[in-house]
C-alpha cells in the first residue's frame, strides 16, 4: 500500500495561503471559503475580517524566508499573492528555487513578468513592441535630464510624469505648467522625490477620457477575461481632490458596449497575452489592465500584476466558478477547459475610510455596526482586533461594503444603506459612487 505524504492530497483538498491584508484579500478569502476544494485557509498578515473566517498568521510580507517557513510548516499547496510588492521583489522566483516548495501552486507572476507593474519603462516598451495602444512616451534619467527639459518644452501640456518604479500609488504627477513640470522632473531625478523609484522617469502624453479596469486570469497559456469594473480614485465627490487607492467600485461598466469590448479584446487583451507568451514571461496569475476610453478607442494607462482593490470587491463576487478550481489550472495549464460563469447582477462597493486619508489620519478607533443583519457584505481592509477583542481601525481604507443588485442603482442603494450602520470616529466615504453611470 502506498501512503500519500500529504493528507490533503488524498481527498484533493488544499491548504491555501493568501498574502496581504486588504479588502482584496478579504474578498479572496470569502470566495475561497465557498470552494469545495480547500482544506484549510490562512491569510498573512490578514485583518479582523479574515480572522473571522480563517486563520491569520502575523507576518511582514517582505520577509520571504518567513513565508517559506510558513509554507513548509503548514504544508501549504497553493499561495495567492495579493499585493504587487512581493511579486515585484521576486517572491515567486525565490519560492520555486526551493526544492521542497516546487509542487506549490503560486498565483502571481515571476519577477521578470512583474516588471509590467514594477517598471513603467518596461511596460511601455512591452506595449510598443506588441503594438498595444498607449500614450506616447519617453524615459529620462539624471544623465539625460536636459533632454527631459527639451521634451517638456517641445510638447503640449498637461505633462504626465511617472516614477519608473513602485511608489505606493503616488508616483504619477499630472502638471499643466511647463516650469513646474521641469521642477518636478528635477525633484524626481536629482533629489530622489520618490527614492529609488524615481531614478528613471517616464514622461507621457496626457490622454483625456474615462478610465476602467480590465482583469485577466491566466495559467500561463490560456486566459479568461473577468468582468470589467470602474474604480473611483479621488477622495472627494465629483472626482475632486487627492488620489486614493480607490473609494468605491462598480461592475459591470455600462459604457462598455459590445463594440468597445471587442476592441479591448482585439487591440489589448490578445496582444498582451501574445506578448507575454512569446516574450517567455511565464505569467501565472491576475493581470490588471488600467484602461482609458478616448473617443471610442481603448488605450492602456498601466499594467498591474494583481487584482485591483476595491475592484476585487465587485469583480470576485460576480465570478460563479470555484476559485480554487480556477487557480489550480496553473498546475497543468488546464484553464482552456474552464468556462467562466459570471453573475449577471451588478455589484457595487463603497469604501469607508479614516478621516484625513489619503493624508494623515489616526488609527485605533473602535468600529461598531458590523454585526447588524444586512443584505450587504462587509469586506475588511484596514482593521484589526485589539487586546480586548474589539475590532478597531488600522489603516486609511477601513471597510468596503459590497452589495448585489439587479441593476447598479439597486446595488449602490443597498451599499449606502448598509454603510450607514457602520460607525467609527471620523468615518468618511464618498456619497456619489456610481451616480455618474
Q: Which residues bind ligand GLY (CB under 6 A)?
A: 231, 245-246, 304, 308-309, 311
The least CB distance from residue 311 to ligand GLY, in Å, is 6
Closer residue to ligand AMP in complex, CB, 8/213? 213
Of 32, 129, 106, 155, give the one whose Cα is nearest residue 305: 106
Q: What does 300 bind: ligand AMP, ligand GLY, none (CB cut-off 5 to 8 Å by kind)?
A: none
CA distance 265 to 271: 9
Interaction of residue 301 with ligand AMP, rule CB under 6 A? yes
List Cβ neighbours of 326 (8 Å cut-off, separation of 6 or more): 217, 224, 319, 335, 338
Question: Taking Cα atoms as reference points, which of 177, 202, 14 lies closest to residue 107?
Answer: 14
| Binding at 309: pick from ligand AMP, ligand GLY, none (beta carbon under 5-8 Å per type) | ligand GLY
Among residue numbers 86 through 125, which ones bind ligand AMP (CB under 6 A)? none
Residue identified by cell 468615518 is 427
Tell me the per-residue interface mask from 153 to 192 with ligand AMP, x by CB under 6 A, - otherwise: -------x-x---------x--------------------
Instruction: Return d(Cα 381, Cα 398) in angstroms, integer.
Output: 5
Residue 204 engages ligand AMP in binding (rule: CB under 6 A): yes
Q: Are 344 and 55 in contact (CB under 8 A)?
A: no
Using CA atoms, how far residue 172 sits from 90, 188, 242, in Å, is 24, 11, 12
Contact partner at residue 211 from ligand GLY, ligand AMP, none, CB < 5 to 8 Å by partner kind: ligand AMP
Interface with ligand AMP, residue 207, by CB under 6 A: yes
Among the listed residues 117, 144, 137, 141, the one whose alpha carbon sits nearest the alpha carbon of residue 201: 141
Report which DSSP code applies to 183: H
Count how many Cα atoms sit within 13 Å of the Cα of residue 20 in the half-sphere of its side chain. Answer: 26
Span from 26-34, 82-90, 203-211, 221-229 in contact with ligand AMP (CB under 6 A): 203-211
Number of residues that bind ligand AMP (CB under 6 A): 11
Nearer to ligand AMP, 72 or 242 (CB): 242
Could you count the other beta carbons within 10 Å of the beta carbon of residue 353? Answer: 26
Alpha-carbon distance 76 to 269, whole Å?
32
Among ligand GLY, ligand AMP, none, what does residue 64 contact (CB within 5–8 Å per kind)? none
Q: Which does 395 bind (CB under 5 to 8 A by kind): ligand GLY, ligand AMP, none?
A: none
Residues in touch with ligand AMP (CB under 6 A): 135, 160, 162, 172, 204, 206-207, 211, 290, 301-302
Amino acid at each position: 500500500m502506498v501512503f500519500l505524504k500529504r493528507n490533503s492530497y488524498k481527498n484533493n483538498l488544499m491548504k491555501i495561503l493568501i498574502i496581504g491584508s486588504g479588502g482584496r484579500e478579504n474578498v479572496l478569502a470569502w470566495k475561497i471559503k465557498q470552494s469545495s476544494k480547500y482544506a484549510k485557509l490562512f491569510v498573512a498578515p490578514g485583518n479582523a475580517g479574515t480572522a473571522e473566517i480563517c486563520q491569520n498568521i502575523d507576518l511582514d510580507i517582505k520577509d520571504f524566508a518567513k513565508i517559506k517557513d510558513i509554507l513548509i510548516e503548514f504544508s501549504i499547496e497553493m499561495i495567492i499573492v495579493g499585493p504587487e510588492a512581493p511579486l515585484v521583489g521576486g517572491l515567486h522566483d525565490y519560492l520555486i528555487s526551493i526544492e521542497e516548495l516546487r509542487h506549490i501552486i503560486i498565483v502571481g507572476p515571476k519577477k521578470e513578468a512583474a516588471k509590467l507593474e514594477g517598471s513603467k519603462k518596461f511596460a511601455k516598451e512591452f506595449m510598443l513592441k506588441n503594438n498595444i495602444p498607449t500614450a506616447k512616451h519617453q524615459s529620462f534619467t539624471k544623465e539625460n535630464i536636459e533632454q527631459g527639459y527639451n521634451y517638456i518644452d517641445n510638447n503640449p501640456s498637461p505633462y504626465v510624469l511617472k516614477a519608473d518604479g513602485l511608489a505606493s500609488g503616488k508616483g504619477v504627477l499630472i502638471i499643466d505648467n511647463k516650469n513646474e513640470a521641469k521642477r518636478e522632473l528635477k525633484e524626481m531625478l536629482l533629489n530622489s522625490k520618490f527614492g529609488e523609484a524615481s531614478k528613471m522617469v517616464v514622461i507621457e502624453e496626457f490622454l483625456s477620457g474615462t478610465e476602467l479596469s480590465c482583469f485577466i486570469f491566466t495559467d500561463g497559456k490560456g486566459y479568461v477575461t473577468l468582468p470589467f469594473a470602474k474604480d473611483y480614485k479621488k477622495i472627494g465627490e465629483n472626482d475632486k481632490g487627492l488620489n486614493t487607492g480607490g473609494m468605491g467600485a462598480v461592475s459591470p461598466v455600462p459604457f462598455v458596449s459590445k463594440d468597445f469590448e471587442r476592441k479591448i479584446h482585439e487591440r489589448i487583451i490578445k496582444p498582451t497575452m501574445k506578448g507575454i507568451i512569446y516574450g517567455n514571461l511565464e505569467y501565472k496569475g491576475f493581470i490588471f489592465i488600467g484602461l482609458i476610453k478616448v473617443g471610442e478607442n481603448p488605450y492602456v494607462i498601466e499594467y498591474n500584476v494583481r487584482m485591483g482593490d476595491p475592484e476585487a470587491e465587485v469583480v470576485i463576487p460576480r465570478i460563479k466558478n470555484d476559485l480554487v478550481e480556477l487557480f489550480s489550472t496553473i498546475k497543468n495549464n488546464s484553464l482552456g477547459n474552464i468556462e467562466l460563469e459570471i453573475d449577471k447582477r451588478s455589484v457595487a462597493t463603497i469604501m469607508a475610510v479614516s478621516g484625513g486619508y489619503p493624508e494623515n489620519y489616526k488609527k485605533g478607533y473602535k468600529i461598531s455596526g458590523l454585526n447588524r443583519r444586512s443584505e450587504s457584505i462587509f469586506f475588511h481592509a484596514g482593521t484589526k482586533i485589539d487586546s480586548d477583542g474589539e475590532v478597531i481601525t488600522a489603516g486609511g481604507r477601513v471597510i468596503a461594503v459590497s452589495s448585489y443588485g439587479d441593476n447598479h442603482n439597486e446595488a449602490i442603494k443597498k451599499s449606502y444603506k448598509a454603510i450607514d450602520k457602520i460607525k467609527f470616529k471620523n468615518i468618511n466615504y464618498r456619497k456619489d459612487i456610481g451616480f455618474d453611470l
